[in-house]
A and B are shown apart, each in its own frame.
Chain A
């Protein structure tokens, strides 16, 4: 502005007139004038210089007075602002227009000391004296005000001052208020740009973990097995706690079991092999198996008093072909298992013996095989312990076999009570008072011996000697040699265990008691030749049957004489009672057996290969069935046994064969149950059977004194 001011001053002096003439024009002329007359200024010439574009006006025109009015109107403000009025729906001119013109505006930096920003700044900058701050603030305010008042002239200076002053009072005010509590959370953000590290990617490739697919199934039995295992573990833990001493045993056992499993693979499938063998056999002998189970000869309905025997399986064994079947015994526990003893009845041809256990489920091969050095004559399976088998040898000894061992568990020796002649029959007895097993044996040497197994030893005790009633024979020297009878068979009473029957080679039947060792209760001259078998009736307590080499089978009743005759003279008075029934079978009868299901049925085998089955209820004199069973001629049938459960019989012959036969319906007539009544219990059945037999017997018994002879007398 200063150059303009100088310019004004200069031009006023020389150009007073010119100015007066043209006052309305702007100062634009002046500048032009100033530029053009620069050279002439120092001359101070008074010559009138006219600019070229100056208007030529007359003097009158030059003296014309123009009035100028100074108003407060803003010359730049528009005068015709129009606004749309929605009320009148047209543009209307605004009546008054704002005439304010701002020439200069300066924004100040002043803050009220009580404002937030001021307080913040004070807190930041510390806390100088509050009084000083006030002064500073007032001075700053004045300075600022002065700066503002200068207006255009002091614009820049004022600004600077104002800013500085504004800055100082602000922190001063802030510091002055520093004693007050500052708000910690009211923070100002301060950002700073850190160096951004460049990103680098880093990776490693690993081998994928090995994957395996796992699948499982859950079924009822898997859950059951899991629970069982858990239970067993718990049990083991309990046991371990209770009996810690047995751990050593368990360990040794475990070792044993481990070695066992690792060894022979083949041994493990023993059971499976047995099952498969039976299955294969069942397939081969399928028809026989079906017959065994289901066949009932329908033609029996048309044959009233006849029955037949259907041949089922035939059991043979290679090594036993030369031997004769000497005894048969069904296993008391397993109804399909039976034991056969092999030996030889021929005095001249004595060889080995054998025990075979056969099962009906496997007809082609025996279940158990035991070989002995001497022929076996008899065999018995213990009723309570089916694994114990007692056998009698031809050489007079007895042995006890345990099925698990090949060798006999016990074998008596010559010193130990061995018989001097073949043992014809052995029979287990009930355990004695000390729970020792014991059995009886009978032999041709005339002794009946009781053997007891005490602490793994056989101890014998002579029960009875079969003395002959005749006077002792005189030997060649004249010495008296006592002769004894030869026992061939015996049977113990079903109910009264102490009473038993003995059959001898002379044909006599002695009734004996375990209690009396010297005397017989009774003697019965039964047969003319040796008695081969004597059996009590399973139902009736007083009836027994005998068979003999004299071709007969006889049924007897125990006489009423139960007192022991101590008078030796009376020993000779052997009762020669008549048998209740006598049957002539046309050949030597090897064996006779009662049927377990009826008190009137029995079967017998003869040396000509025939089997006879009688039912006294149906026919008292003739057999219901007389059938040739042996395949080859000249085969003697040696033994017969009824199966306790199934309607079959097994027959042994002297060629080592055992044949099984099924009884036809006529042969197995059992008392019929009346409809609507509950099944018979054993006691009832027994009564029935006994009654049935008694009825028969009444017809054949000899009339007692005082009673009238029954009308139907016996026929022979």
Chain B
């Protein structure tokens, strides 16, 4: 099981245009990253808050609903956040890269 997940993460990292991935645990501490420390901490902190807010929005409107994932597309790249029960998987990709 663990190896499959590891493989998946490696594949994501090796995919075209992916800049980095971060795995954040429930406390907001990044436990696995492919980026440098300061960037990781910044991303982890900010995106945890954003995800909480987004989830709050979705569930406030309908409590039986829940957030599946969050995509923030900017000029330079796209940040994708997939929330798990206690964890957060963040991937940053540059989709225009050929």
Contact = CB atoms under 8 A, between A and B. Distances in A.
B16 A275 contact: no
A219 B56 contact: yes
A264 B93 CA distance: 26
Contacts of B32: 265-266
A264 B86 CA distance: 13
A221 B59 contact: yes
Given A220-B63, A269-B5, A283 B89 contact: no
Given A265-B31, A283-B78, A275 B68 contact: yes
B44 interface: no
A273 B59 contact: no
A271 to B, nearest CB: 6
Interface in B28-78: 31-32, 56, 59-61, 63-64, 68-69, 71, 78
Given A221-B59, A266-B6, A279 B85 contact: no
Nearest to B56: A219
Contact of B69 (A225, A264, A279): A279
A283 B78 CA distance: 9
Interface of B: 1-2, 4-6, 8-9, 11-12, 15-18, 21, 23, 25, 31-32, 56, 59-61, 63-64, 68-69, 71, 78, 80, 82-89, 91, 93, 95
Contact of A272 (B4, B59, B83): B83
A365 interface: yes
Contacts of B5: 266-267, 269-270, 273
A31 to B, nearest CB: 119
A219 B60 CA distance: 6
Given A266-B2, A272-B83, A364-B15, A284 B89 contact: no
Contacts of A73: none
B87 A219 contact: no
25 contacts: A219-B59, A220-B60, A223-B63, A224-B63, A225-B63, A264-B2, A265-B87, A267-B1, A267-B5, A268-B86, A269-B5, A269-B84, A270-B4, A271-B84, A272-B82, A272-B83, A273-B8, A273-B12, A273-B82, A274-B8, A275-B69, A276-B82, A277-B8, A280-B12, A283-B93
A129 interface: no
Interface of A: 219-221, 223-225, 264-277, 279-281, 283-284, 286, 364-365
B59 A268 contact: no
A219 to B, nearest CB: 5
A280 B82 contact: no
Nearest to A277: B12
Given A220-B59, A224-B63, A273-B8, A268 B85 contact: yes
A419 B68 CA distance: 48
A276 B95 contact: no
Contacts of B78: 283
A268 B91 CA distance: 17
A68 B6 CA distance: 151
A270 B21 CA distance: 14
Contacts of A266: 2, 5-6, 9, 23, 32
Given A219-B59, A219-B60, A275-B69, A280 B91 contact: yes
A303 B63 CA distance: 52
B16 A221 contact: no
Contacts of A280: 12, 15, 17-18, 80, 91, 93
A561 B52 CA distance: 71
Contacts of B16: 284
Nearest to A284: B16
Nearest to B64: A224
Contacts of A275: 68-69, 82, 89
Nearest to A268: B87
B70 to A, nearest CB: 10
